[in-house]
Homo-oligomer: A and B are copies of this chain.
Amino acid sequence: MPLTTFKATAHLQDGVQVKVKSRNFEVTIDEPRELGGMDTGMNPVELVLCALGACQSIVARVYARKFGIEFNDFWVEVEGDLDTDGFMNKSDVRRGYSDVRYHIHIDTDAPREKVEEFVDFIEKTCPVGDTIENPVNLKRGEIFIGSRV
């Protein structure tokens, strides 16, 4: 399935709670109390970091054999810096993340040089990493004004 169109919907609930859905999977999104939410789920910018770590983990699993790397455990810590004054419309700073960093944890007997080569590959093969790091053509489609069907 080379050129694929992935889809999702987001449906606003009470307050800033949102039910997001893709295929038959649903996740509850919300904001912590200090950002005006009811704290019933992670928030959208945390979800982006999760997507990155998950994507890197999947690339690691899929390509480990190709690199001759066996591991017992693989996890990623991801963090991103965002100035919330942008979202609060208090300043002209960019609205999204300026910087995102990740730390890879791998339990393996493979030598460090080989692991580094593997991580270089993960970095350049990860679809979410590319989506975050490089510009994407983001376009508004239709605006449907009317009652819920």
Contacts and interface: CB of A to CB of B under 8 A. Distances in A.
Interface of A: 1-12, 15-16, 18, 20-23, 25, 27, 29, 31-32, 34, 36, 41-63, 72-87, 89, 91, 94-108, 110, 112, 115-116, 119, 123-148
Contact of A49 (B6, B53, B134): B6
B140 A74 contact: no
Contact of A22 (B18, B49, B59, B95): B49
User: By DSSP majority rule, is chain A's interface helix, strand, loop, or mixed?
Assistant: mixed
A135 B138 contact: no
B3 A83 contact: yes
Given A95-B126, A95-B130, A144-B106, A44 B49 contact: no
Given A75-B12, A102-B141, A132-B136, A54 B46 contact: no
B54 A128 contact: no
Contact of A144 (B61, B87, B105, B142): B105
A95 B125 contact: yes
B85 A2 contact: yes
B132 A57 contact: no
